[in-house]
Structure 1
Amino acid sequence: MGIVERQEQLASFATALAECQAGRGRLLAVTGSLASGKTTLLRVFTERAAAAGLHVIRATGARTERELPLSLVNQFCHDFPFEIFNGNRAELVREVHSTAMRHGQRSAVPGSQLATMLHKASVTLLTASERKPVVVVVDDLHHVDPLSLHSLLYLVRRIRNARILVVVSGGDLVEPTDPQLYAELMELASENHLTLPPLSRRGVGELLAEALGDQPCDALVDACARASGGNPLLIRTLITDLQNSGGFTVDREGPILPARAYTSAVRRYVERCDPLTRRVLAAAALFDRCPPAGPLTLARLAEVDIEAARRALSSLESSGLVSGGWLPDLRARQAVLDHLPTAALTNLHLRAAQLLYEEGSAPLPVARHLLAAGWAPDWASPVLSAAAEALLGTGDTELAVALLRLAHDGARDDVERAALKVALFQAEWRTDPAAAGYRLGQLADAARAGRLSVAARVATAHGLLWLGHTAEAAEVLDGLAGLEADAEQRAEIRFFTVWARFTHPGLLGDEPEEPQVPRCSADNVVNTRDALAHALETVLAKGPNSAAVVAAERALPRFTLRGSGMASHAAALTILVYADHLETATLWADRLLAQAGERRATSWQAMLTAIRADISLRSGQLADAQRYAEDALGMMSRESWATAVGVPLSTLLLAHTARGQLDQAGRLLDQPVPDAMFETVWGLHYLRARGCYYLQTGRAAAGLDDFTTCGDLMARWNFDLPALVPWRVHAAHAHLELNQPEKARALAESQLTQLGQEPSRTKAAALRVLAAAGPLAQRPTLLREAAEMLRACGDRLELAHTLADLSQAQRSSGDFHRARMTVRRAWDLAGDCQADALRRRLLPDVDDTVLESADDTDTEALNSLSDAERRVAALAAQGSTNRQIANKLFVTVSTVEQHLTKVYRKLNVTRRADLLVKLGPRISNIA
């Protein structure tokens, strides 16, 4: 590659060359940072001098020859042309060699002998320059031995009126062999001193263009400029690496990936630095962009004085390797640190950690140095724990666990060690509950010994329950009851006790007869967790109500996804789901899923995805329910799911069954499940799902057995909650299949007596069974009432089944026109839900000609609606009141009423209920 941005230096050399030829000798010095292109520039100087007819004598200082006397003069002698010595070159070489040998053996060299030798060599050069101008080129002057420096000084002082040009180069970051002689030489060249600055961005672009054969893109130029700092050697190595990688591609931000050539150059760079600079460079290599390291920090870390650190840092920055007190490229930092012995590197990291800690740095940089050193001093545990907490917030669980393990190893006492075990357990639980579970035995022992806080005991009990260790969990929970705790801790204990009573109903015996009212604090504020516990107690005792829903909605934004907070979110979502507030539950489940994904907390993602699957199932979105359930099962192993595997597995079973995919459902039932699951609420879900599969496959007796088992367990646990598992409704369906309508009717009536006056999906399902078991004349009324409830709560699948039953009742009553309209609506809803099993049941009753005609008529009527009328019709069909529609569309109630009047006329309907039947599945595409 050619010379870039060195025109000024070349011009100065041309001037010096002309002066030399005119008989005005001089010393020309070229200085710059390491690898700034000095050697390349001297090579160009040499070539131009030789081309101009001058005789060139070359010599180079070398690190390995710093102690070799007269190494420079020896090189000169061998480069002298034979003719300028008049045949006496061999004699001069012998004198130089003899002097060097005596000096190297530490023998005294007589001053007269040395002076004679220097005089003879200088006179020979001066005489030769009279015949032909001479250029003496010395590269890496800083490595030249002291005796050679002395000889060079002797010559330089005598060339003022000779045709001799002496050109030397020296580096900034290397200690000269004799600083005094070196400085004296540089002083003599003060008027002819050429400094090589880093290349500008334009210069970097020129080098890239030369290598590419074309103009590089701005991103590539910027990336190379940042990585090299304008250092020519580093730029050339980057180009080599880019060429070896097969291209010059950069990403959106323009970084490049230095490879072998670049790192090799950095290693050579480090080797050429003096020890002091190397220490400062190693200190700088420990830091990344944040926090930036200033001269004082680097001086303390490198154990040098501040001025020396400033000088070294200035030279390093001019070299392009260091920028703002740090090395921008990770590979460069590693190449620098690789030169340090292991013990020295460990001590350097420990000093860096101590220094940053004393300066009040953020925990994470301190923790990284401690981890690199593999050692935690007495003060380190809080810092490591805080850094791990920050990493968990960003999803870097692996590094957080490593920091917590280091803190655990350096814990000061058993109490601190136990707290760190809990933190480790919770961090590992995020990604693999089964792997984290091996710590539970130690944590249970620590709880018995009284070394765990309230929060730690709650986390331990939660893990024990999840993995099916109910006896140990009960012991830990019993220990919580006797603890002295503040208001916050009491709320946490109460919440977890209620949650454990919900997930494992038989664990703690009978639940309280009446929910405990949340206590207010001194400033009359109710603790959020206490309020959520009260809401969950209300659901368990009386079923979901509006107050419980409000408490759940208030709790969701106040808890963060951390530690045992997942239980609080699961409880709040459970309340919303059981209260049929599916839209709100969906909104929050999706929001929490996004947060769990950002934190890369696999176990949280899996549980939230399972809840999301249940919401989709209850909404009649079978394909979504199946997808979410499959995703949830795939996120963790069965060992990690443990007893909670019943949540996604039950949803997937029900989705497959409703979609008519009975083979897939059967294969799921072939998979073993933990026996401990049947001691949990998730076991009830599984029994219900298996029973529904048996019903669908014609084994009603087996299904009835599963449903009654649910009832027996719920009765034994004093946990008969229809919103959770309406086992009576399912058992009634089984009795209908077994041709036992009276038993079915009794179960349906019993279910209805347990429900309040408020409409719900469970009440609608019970009305549907009651209609099937009752007289034909009562069926349409009961089924229409059930359909109205299902439209309000958004259960499209149960609505499809209800409409299917209604169409049969209408057909049996002779109302064929309404039967055709109703069966079409049931058919459309079943298709929208992808409920293929229901569609197969309806197929014999579907008249394609009538459906096509009705579809064409409805499509034409729908097209006649304006955009505003379409939006109002969609919201009204979905159950919104006129005022709710007005609020959503930002119009007046009067405007809504006017739109509805026009909609009724155009669609030929008289009430809201007919809108849903008339518009069919098009509603989802209208608003």
Structure 2
Amino acid sequence: MVRDRSVNSCLNSTLVGRADDVRALNRLARAARGGRASSAVVTGPTGIGKSALLRAFLGGDACRHATVLQGTCEEGASGDSWGGVRTLLGPTAQDASPEDAALLALTPGTLAGEPPHAPAVQRAFHGLYRHAANALSRCPLVLALDDVHHCDELSLHWLDFLLRRADGLPLLVVLTRQEEATALDHGAPGHRALADLTARRRTTTLRLRPMTETDVAEVVRQFFPAPAAPAFVTRAWVMTGGNPRLLDRLLRELWAEGAGSGVGGADRIAETGGRVLARWARELLDRRPLWVGEVARAVAVLGERGADHVGPLAAVPADVVEDALMVLREAGLLTPGGRHLADGAVREAVLEPLDAQALSRLHTRAALLLSDAGRPAEEVADHLLPLPSISEPWMPGVLLEAAVRAEARGAPETAARYLYRVLEVDPDSVEVRVRLARALAETDPPEAIGLLRGALAPSVDIRTRARIAAQFGTTCLAARESTAALGMLEEVLDALDAELGPDLLPADRELRTLVESVLLIVGSQGRSTIAATRKRAAAAMTVPEGDTPAQRQKLAAMAVLTALDDQAPEPAVKCALRAASSPPLPLKNWSLINSAFVLGLADRTEDALHALDRLLRHGRENSRGWTYSLALSTRALLLHGLGALPDALADARAAVQISGAERWGETVVLPRLALAGVLVDRGEAARAEKLLTSTGPAWRDQYVWTYPRYLLAHGRARHALGDAEGALALFRECGRSLEEDGVRHAAYVPWWAEAACVLAELGRAEEAQEPAAHGTRLARRWGTPRVLGLAALARGVATPGEKGVELLGEAVRELSASPARVEHARAELVLGQVLLTAGDRRGAREHLRAASDLAQRYGAVALGQNARGALLEAGGRMRKMTASPLDLLTSMERKVAGLAAGGAGNRSIAQSLYVTVRTVETHLTSVYRKLDIAERAQLAAVLRSPGVRGARVPRQASRPRGQR
């Protein structure tokens, strides 16, 4: 019963929001009763509710004491002479005089083709007028003719004849017509007659508007028993454009599918509404002239960008195009105010009548039209992609040009689609294979490698082979196939030397440097290849000046190898700074990644972050997902080391999200390692370990830059979970792996400091002296405050008594002068704990409070909780440390977030806080990152519920442009 009531309510839903229109017709009816004859035309697009409004008016009180004669003009009735008169006056024939009855019995075709002023027609007009006047003499008369745009010409002329002679008579004529019919019937015989009739001085035109969102909400309330979600109402309103008939169909369809009006139903509206719109489109086009369908198909094929060429493609004049567009727009098939179809399902419905051959011809004609008009190659190429074959000689050139443009605007996947079609025509083309491999390098590295292998034939000249080999090497990094790349690069280098000799031209020297740089980059990744690569670099490679892109890439690679040589940082830093400072030169990703790595080791954090920011901007603008994810992970590691845990957390999460959505995501380990490290410090060690154990050993154990980080992060997670012995085993394995790989650097993966602290915690201070001494030797060679502070910390925990306290004080001083804020907090905590154990409660409180403050400020929840517990034990007081996302915000960010959540705009916030709008935007961006939310609307919920994270929606600003 509830369902039946809901359906009945929906059947009457077209009257929602129509009260003013009903009242307007009622006023005209009352005026007619007083002898003021008039007419009204109710107009609007298909489905807007004209007939429903007419029925409601005729059944109301205003017509209760009048004679109501009503009829409907059926489609195709315009050729039926007197059809409109018969449907109106036919029921009154039995009361007519013999003379009038003969007139009312006019059969189809009677007087057809006669002009209105012909004597026979005029006699018929007068006879019909007398019949109507007889009815008017008894009581008011209401003549209501629905769908008058289908009416025949003579009937319309008679209605005009009647109204011109009805002054002082109680007559009201009400007509309904489709608004889009104006565009369709301008060539029809009845068009002029209808125009004359509606132009009368006393004709009132009621144009029915689409339903408002409030109206839609009322209809949904009548239809569904449960309260509707606001999103359901909004989406239903947008999908139907406020058209009552469309809304009725949509709600019926949703009801039949078992969907309610809640959030779940709202999620179904797009799919279900698309089907409803598609059926609506098919019905509409079936009832319209052929040229409307031709224009609709041209619009469907050309899309929004080709809207100016619809006429030539449809082969219809420009004025007819505009009429057809109006018909489609009024029917809700075009976007409001636009010239393209409203939905993909509508497009499919419009093109459904075409077979594959006809559709291909249409796309080919569209491509030629756009090409002749000088439109961009991508617009032309989009019409070549659906073709079954690239058969014309001009087509491959267009596709190649489109691919170049797509690459230039940062759309490699689009470029790949164009290039695949070109490759069908010329599968052996080296140029096309190389271009396609470049487009696929960061979206499908294995496919790109296969294409490059096919292009590296022995018959290819050495210079071309060298360029392809360099591309092959960097692509192998994304696919984790470094070993295959090394052999190829070494072979090409040997061939270059043999064929070109020692006296190289500048271009050849740059080419050779490019191959050398890629060999260094690839060789320094693998645990089994880094030693040989270091030897080769030291023995046979000169340090370049860094004046060209290839030189800077080689310089950055050599900076990494130099940094690992157990010496002071200055030579490596000099190389890294030179490699990273190349704004005028084409950007090489690995120049910035390797430079940032070295600069981060050397505590040159601002320079490192600047290099990574440049790389991230380049990756985002060019949709380089693999590079972007790698750069985000690297920045997350750097920020973590700086103690900027909220920003590190945001970067690491974004990197994991991006890589997880890609085909190459399984081979990329660094995002997960970066995220796990931050989670441990955030007090989420169990989540960190789960993330780490899900990482495949095939991708982590073979590489210098992942395996030690994995062991360190896993060891820290085990320690946080209470497994000190397990953590110690992992730290020692980390040290062994680095020793095997020949990597002896104090700042890179300082496992020795972690091992020393765990051993001291286990009461094995003497054992702690060995890793402490190892780290101290390395730290003194590198000499930055961070590693010197860590070395002092390791020695301090391994040294009992006052000497140990002194060393821990040294660690606090060194680390406070370094950018390592969390390590500084850790040193304060350890020193406070040692002082507390020694009975110096006052001194302990000073350092424990400092540790707690630092941890709170930088988001190190686990460390802060430990500091707070020790502080309370020492007799101090401190507010509880939490993992609330709001703790991540600065005071200014809290103020901005609070005002924004309350509905204030950016300009208003800026004025109230006396800052610039740009400053407000910067703070809001930071807030979104830290709270892991995507938009302003989510702020209020997060601020009301501090323990609840924002919706896990990927931040658009954090993704490469092509992945949005």
Q: TM-score, normalising length from structure 1? A: 0.63
User: For the Cα contact (< 8 Å) 2:669–2:700, is it kept in 1?
Assistant: no
Match of 1:461 in 2: 473
Q: Does the 8 Å CA contact 2:486/2:519 hold for their aligned counterparts? A: no
Given residue 378 of structure 1, which amino acid in structure 2 is its aligned partner? P
Matched with 1:306 is 318
2:443 aligned to 420, 425, 428, which one?
Answer: 428
CA distance in 1, matches of 2:514, 2:578: 17
Determine helix, strand or coil for the equivalent of 1:58.
Answer: strand
Show the 5 A alignment for 1:628-643: 636=659, 640=664
Which of 598, 605, 608 is the matching residue for 1:575?
A: 598
Q: Relative to 1, partners in 2 of residues 1:508 and 1:264: Cα closer, same or farther, differing over 3 Å? A: same
Q: Where do 1:35-184 residues align within 5 Å?
A: 53=66, 56=69, 58=71, 60-63=73-76, 75=87, 78-84=90-96, 86=98, 96=107, 125=128, 128-129=131-132, 131-133=134-136, 139-140=146-147, 143=150, 149=153, 173=181, 179=187, 181-183=189-191
Give 1:516's aligned residue. Answer: 542
- In the alignment, what sits opposite 1:276? 291
Trace 1:391-540 onto structure 2 (pairs within 5 A): 414-429=429-444, 436-448=445-457, 450=460, 457-478=469-490, 481=493, 485=507, 492-504=514-526, 505-506=530-531, 508=533, 510-513=535-538, 516-519=542-545, 529=553, 531-533=555-557, 535-536=559-560, 538-540=562-564
Residue 349 of structure 1: how far off its partner (Å): 4.9
Q: Percent identity?
A: 20
Measured after TM superposition, the shift of residue 475 of structure 1 is 3.3
Distance between the aligned counterparts of 1:840 and 1:28, measured in 2? 82
Change (3 A) 1:256 1:588: farther
Tell me the equivalent position of 1:293.
Answer: 307
Q: How far apart are 1:304 and its partner, in Å?
A: 1.0
Deviations 1:581-634 (A, max 9, x none): 346546776897798789987655653454355436645789998998788668
Cα distance, 1:574 vs structure 2: 0.8
Q: 1:808, 1:154 → 2: CA distance?
A: 105
How far apart are residue 579 of structure 1 and its match? 0.9
* Structure 2 counterparts to residues 777-856 of structure 1, below 5 A: 788-795=813-820, 821=843, 825=847, 829=851, 851-852=874-875
Q: Which runs of 5+ in 1 are unaligned?
A: 104-108, 430-435, 857-927
Structure 1 residues 348 and 328: alpha-carbon distance in aligned structure 2, compared to 1, 3 A threshold: same
RMSD: 6.9
Say whether the 8 Å CA contact 1:404–1:423 is kept in structure 2.
Answer: no
**Distance across 2 between alignment mates of 1:787 and 1:285:** 69
Show the counterpart of 2:941: none
CA contact under 8 A between 1:617 and 1:625: conserved in structure 2? yes
Question: After superposition, what is the alpha-carbon deviation per residue over 1:59-88, rounded to whole angstroms, capped at 9, x for unaligned?
Answer: 51324x677788667757853421326499
Structure 1 residue 283: Cα displacement: 3.6
Residue deviations 1:845-897, cap 9 Å, x none? x8988x438999xxxxxxxxxxxxxxxxxxxxxxxxxxxxxxxxxxxxxxxxx
Q: CA deviation at 1:437?
A: 2.7
> Structure 1, residues 321-376: CA drift from partner, whole Å, max 9, x if none?
65555158437954872664354555545544554454454666656655667877
User: In the TM superposition, what is the alpha-carbon distance from 1:460 to its structure 2 partner?
Assistant: 3.2
Query: Superposition pairs for residues 404-803 of structure 1, below 5 Å?
Result: 414-429=429-444, 436-448=445-457, 450=460, 457-478=469-490, 481=493, 485=507, 492-504=514-526, 505-506=530-531, 508=533, 510-513=535-538, 516-519=542-545, 529=553, 531-533=555-557, 535-536=559-560, 538-541=562-565, 545-546=569-570, 548-549=572-573, 552=576, 566-582=589-605, 585=608, 603-604=626-627, 606-608=629-631, 610-612=633-635, 614-615=637-638, 618-619=641-642, 636=659, 640=664, 645=669, 649=673, 652=676, 673-674=697-698, 677-678=701-702, 680-686=704-710, 696-697=724-725, 707-714=735-742, 720-724=744-748, 751=778, 755=781, 758-763=783-788, 765=790, 788-795=813-820
Structure 1 residue 378 corresponds to structure 2 residue 406: no
Structure 2 CA distance for partners of 1:356 and 1:551, relative to 1, 3 Å: farther
Residue by residue over 1:509-533, the C-alpha shift from the partner in whole angstroms, topping out at 9 and shown as x without a partner, is 7232287343466xx9997545534
| Contact 2:788-2:811 within 8 A present in 1 as well | yes
Cα distance change on mapping 1:535 and 1:131 into 2, 3 Å:
same
Deviation at 1:495, TM superposition (A): 3.7
Tell me how far 1:406 sits from its aligned partner: 5.8
1:192 aligns with 2:209: no
C-alpha deviation, 1:659, in angstroms = 8.8
Given that 2:413 and 2:440 are in contact with CA atoms closer than 8 Å, whether structure 1 keeps it comes out as no
Distance 1:495 1:325, change over 3 A: same
- What is the Cα deviation at residue 303 of structure 1? 1.6
For structure 2, list consecutive stretches of 5 or more residues without a partner in the other structure: 1-14, 223-229, 501-506, 880-964
SS in 1 for 2:71: strand
Instruction: Give the Cα–Cα distance (whole angstroms) in 2 for the partners of residues 658 and 44 of structure 1.
Output: 66
Q: CA deviation at 1:474?
A: 1.3
Shift of 1:5: 6.0
Matches within 5 A, 1:363-374: none
Stretch moving more, 151-160 or 262-271: 151-160
* Paired residues of 1:700 and 1:738 also in contact (CA < 8 A): no
- Which range is displaced more, 472-481 or 511-520? 511-520
State the distance in 2 between where 1:748 and 1:542 align: 12
d(CA) in 2 for partners of 1:177 and 1:840?
83
Higher CA-based Rg: 1
Q: How does 1:235-246 map to 2 (within 5 A)?
A: 246=261
- Could you tell me how far apart the structure 1 residues matched to 2:690 and 2:160 are? 98
Specify whether residues 354 and 620 from structure 1 end up closer, same or farther in structure 2 by C-alpha distance, changes over 3 A only: same
Aligned length: 801
Per-residue Cα deviation, 1:356-402 (whole angstroms, up to 9, x for no partner)? 45445466665665566787743442465367548856xxx987876
Partner AA of 1:825 in structure 2: H
1:486-537 CA distance string (max 9 Å, x none): 677666544433322332314647232287343466xx99975455345445
Correspondence for 1:330: 343
Q: Determine if contact 1:283/1:301 at 8 Å carries over to the other structure.
A: yes
**Structure 2 Cα separation of the partners of residues 658 and 759 of structure 1:** 26
- Counterpart Cα distance in 1 of 2:836 and 2:143: 115
Q: Is the 8 A contact 2:633 2:671 kept in 1?
A: yes
**1:286-336 deviations in whole A, cap 9, x for unaligned?**
676x64834xx2312322122333444466667886555515843795487
Measured against aligned partners, the alpha-carbon deviations of 1:543-577 in whole angstroms (never above 9, x if no partner) come to 563565466567668689x9x96534421321122
Give distance in 2, aligned partners of 1:53 and 1:18: 12
- Contact 1:139–1:169 at 8 Å: present in 2 too? yes
Deviations 1:685-708 (A, max 9, x none): 456678998995189899767634
Alpha-carbon distance in structure 2 between the residues aligned to 1:654 and 1:41: 65
Shift of 1:711: 2.1
Paired with 1:659 and 1:616, the residues of 2 have a C-alpha distance of 17
* Inter-partner Cα distance in structure 1 for 2:602 and 2:825: 21
CA 724–261 in structure 1, closer or farther in 2 if over 3 Å, else same: closer
**How far apart, CA to CA, are the structure 2 residues paired with 1:622 and 1:651?**
10
CA distance in 2, matches of 1:747, 1:78: 110
> Residues of 2 paired with 1:206 and 1:669: CA distance?
53
